[in-house]
Amino acid sequence: MVDPSALIEEIRSARTYEGQIAHVRTTSRRRARYGELDRPLHSVVQGLLTELGIKRLFSHQTEAVSRALKGENVAVVASTSSGKTLCYTIPIAERIYERPTSRAFLVFPTKALAQDQLRKLGAFGAGTAFTAACYDGDTPQQHRREIKREAQVVLTNPDMLHIGILPYHHTWADFFRRLQFVVLDEVHVYRGVFGSHTANVIRRLRRIAAHYGARPQFITCSATIGNPQELCEKLTGLPAALVDDDGSPGTRRTWVFWNPPLRERGEGRRSANMESAALLAGLVRSGVRTIDFTLARKVAELVVQHTQRDLGGARSKLGKLVMAYRGGYLPEERREIEQHLFAGELLGVVSTSALELGVDIGHLEAVIMTGYPGSIASTMQQAGRAGRLGGAEETLAFLVAEDNAVDQFLIAQPEYLFSTASERALVDPRNRFILAAHLLCAAFELPIAPAEYDLFGPDTEALLQVLAECPERFLTRRTNWYWIGAGYPAGQVSIRSASGQSYDIVEDGKTPRLIGTVDGQSAFVMVHEGAIYLHRGESYMVERLDVEQHVAYVRRTDEAYYTDALSASQVWVVEEQQQAPWGQSGTKHLGEVRVVTRVTGYVKRQIQSGATIESAELELPAQEYETIGLWVPVPEDDWAALQREGRDLAGSLHALEHALVALVPLFAACDVRDVAGVSHTEHPDLGRPALFIYDGAPGGVGIAEAAFDRWEELVRAAAQVVGTCPCEHGCPSCVQSPNCASMNHPLDKAGALFLAQRWAVGSRQ
């Protein structure tokens, strides 16, 4: 068992230690609390629990099971490793043993989680007493008909429901007719664009089930978030009983806040990727089973490369015990890695959030987070991957800070992470761009009747009319609305992004080979010509991006750098929806904006330091969309005061905009890549200086609204981050952005601080 105190002392005494540990905190164990069921379980189910060594159920488990067996929809929210799986496994097993014709969909956000849960179902008789199977994009075609016909429990994901089950519901008629339960696990993941799409997929599922005469119950499970009941009800469109009395025990966890040292030359800190890799290598050498979470696929691959190099190479004894796991891998690659993970054969795993969820990955003892995960809920969820039920009693969680405003804010104020309530998960099923796409999918599945308008929301009829009158003529109306378009609408709708068709990444050569995929919204950023694409420890250079065919052609390369895309945006006000005063003379505005974004170029960066080697220009089509934005005109007295101080208006606004955008994830459950901003010394629609913060998704998903509601808190946080940063002229920790199209020019840190401090003082009055 790991000894956190001894390990931390060992790190501090190492020759390579440079004072990176900024804060250490230990959270105490939590004692278990148990409950009683309203009625005895079926003898077979009770026997299975006894065989698993489960003598008593935790309080939240008994309440959830009792409510589900009464026929209620249930929303369960509890901490990581609290045994939420039993909250739905027991009711489903109970119903199947009582009535073998019963059917259930178990919906998980990732394929890895579905595979893991299928193994766990085996303990409840799956494979012997009843049949269960995974049905997703990796399921071989020859097995699909058998699963539809014979499986009583089908484990899938929202993507497969959307593209492979609902459009072909007639082939699932018997299953839908007998559908008793739909489980949505890890629902805190369903936020933003993905959550808004998933909410509409679930409405389509309810509609198809009703067509076959079924009214399934919904059981949803979530990690701790600020609005679990609201989120679950928005996802399903149905009322649900909230179960949040978490009775599970908690492990003793030691948190280590790790801040990379300042660089010897210039401003800014050393690479968080390099620090994380060195930390992971040290833990692997000590035999500590560790998972390292990163924020992006590229970073996961970089950290693996660095770690294996530190351990003697990818083919060394220890190097072979470290692997990456992320989206974009081919099915056979994922299965291979998952087998190693589930068997506990690895000492180090580097992953994106794909493994943040409730997958059992051996008995992990430590978690490294390379960069703040974007929300308190995700941070606690990732930290909870170590010390799951039956695992280590003492665990470690390292937060390795990146050189950005949010991470440095948390390093300076670690109490924020432990004292602030979890964020509200933002989801908007009525986003007109998302809803319109799903109305087309629904019409393809079954004609839409006026009686079904309420299922999708008050804008349904108006959107259907627009879709019928558009040049493509997707729909026609008699009494109901009928699909008359060409092809297959679900195939053109990506539910994990606001964009459409994904791009294939193909290794060019005599025998071209598909090595991965990337969604359409990210393609210009990740696989533009000249980009370095990382895959399973190998570097590939993008030689050509075929925009029409949606293919990126790559070749292997030994280049020792990585690339970051640069983009520029222009924003126009379409319609103001809200306005409110703040401070002494300021006003904040919320409404619909039109955004035109263009990837203008990219920079090559050194792998070791992240320093810029050179930049290059790109000519790619502009991407235009409408979304929701917040804009704040600069009050005239602040503008005048800034000029009296001799500060540069453009540089001050530009720097403050960077700081504010970087801090938005602290106040809205989103990734920094989901939000953007621009600043103007004289905006053409407003005729005065202004800052804009807007959603990165067409139609918006609530991020700008959250920034509008918490504007004063956001301003005070920006003043603190910029004011406490030790740099002189601005660095990535305070006012620089790594993706700024103008290469962070002009920036006036002192001017940004002057404005932020005036606004922070004014916001308290």
**pLDDT digits 0-9 by tens, 531-578:** 999 877 688 999 999 999 999 999 999 888 989 898 888 999 999 999
What's residue 390's pLDDT? 47
Neighbours of 617 (CB within 10 A): 8
Q: What pLDDT digit, counting tens, does each position of 330-385 carry?
A: 667 767 776 776 677 889 989 887 665 655 565 789 999 999 988 888 898 889 88
Average pLDDT, stretch 14-33? 92
Q: What pLDDT digit, counting tens, does each position of 372-402 carry?
A: 988 888 898 889 888 754 455 789 999 999 9
What's residue 224's pLDDT? 79
355 vs 474, higher pLDDT: 474
* Model confidence at 146: pLDDT above 90: yes
What's residue 189's pLDDT? 86
Half-sphere exposure of 388 (CA within 13 A, CB side): 19
What's residue 738's pLDDT? 78
Q: Which CATH number is 4-28+251-403 given?
A: 3.40.50.300
Average pLDDT, stretch 467-481? 93
Collapsing DSSP to helix, strand or coil, 481 comes out as: strand
What are the extents of the domains in the chain?
A: 4-28+251-403, 34-243, 432-485, 503-559, 564-763
* Model confidence at 518: pLDDT above 50: yes
509 vs 267, higher pLDDT: 509
- In this chain, the answer to whether the domains covering 4-28+251-403 and 34-243 adopt an identical fold is yes
- Beta-strand (E) ranges in 210-321? 217-222, 241-243, 252-258, 290-293
Do residues 749 and 727 lie in contact, with contact meaning Cβ atoms separated by under 8 Å?
Answer: yes
DSSP H helical segments within 237-354, as ranges?
272-285, 297-310, 331-342
What's residue 373's pLDDT? 87
Do residues 634 and 734 lie in contact, with contact meaning Cβ atoms separated by under 8 Å?
Answer: no
What's residue 572's pLDDT? 95
Q: What pLDDT digit, counting tens, does each position of 249-264 carry?
A: 888 899 999 999 988 7
Closest C-alpha to 357, from 338, 326, 381, 324: 381
Rounded to 5 degrees, what are φ and ψ at 465? -65, -45
Average pLDDT, stretch 409-433? 88
Q: What pLDDT digit, counting tens, does each position of 739-748 carry?
A: 787 888 899 9
Q: What pLDDT digit, counting tens, does each position of 622-669 carry?
A: 988 899 999 999 999 999 999 999 999 999 999 999 999 999 988 887
Question: What's the whole-number average pLDDT of the chain?
Answer: 90
Residue owning tokens 């105490």: 28
The pTM for the full model equals 0.82
* Model confidence at 149: pLDDT above 90: yes
d(C-alpha 536, C-alpha 555), whole Å: 14
* Model confidence at 764: pLDDT above 60: no
Pick the CATH number of 34-243 from 3.90.1150.10, 3.40.50.2300, 3.10.129.10, 3.40.50.300: 3.40.50.300
What's residue 672's pLDDT? 77
What's residue 266's pLDDT? 55
Collapsing DSSP to helix, strand or coil, 287 comes out as: coil
At 498, the pLDDT band (50, 70, 90 cuts) reads low
Q: Identify the top-confidence range among 321-325, 478-482, 506-510, 662-666.
A: 478-482
What's residue 673's pLDDT? 78
SS3 content of the chain, % helix, strand, coil (to 5): 40, 25, 35
Average pLDDT, stretch 108-118? 87
What's residue 381's pLDDT? 84
d(C-alpha 668, C-alpha 28), whole Å: 28
What's residue 721's pLDDT? 94
Six-digit token pair at 613? 């080697």
* Model confidence at 466: pLDDT above 70: yes
Strand partners, 632: 691
**Where does residue 424 fall: left (phi above 0), alpha (psi -120 to 50 degrees), or beta otherwise?**
beta
Average pLDDT, stretch 191-201? 93
Q: How much of the chain, in percent, has pLDDT values that exceed 90?
A: 66
What's residue 422's pLDDT? 79
Six-digit token pair at 709? 């509601």
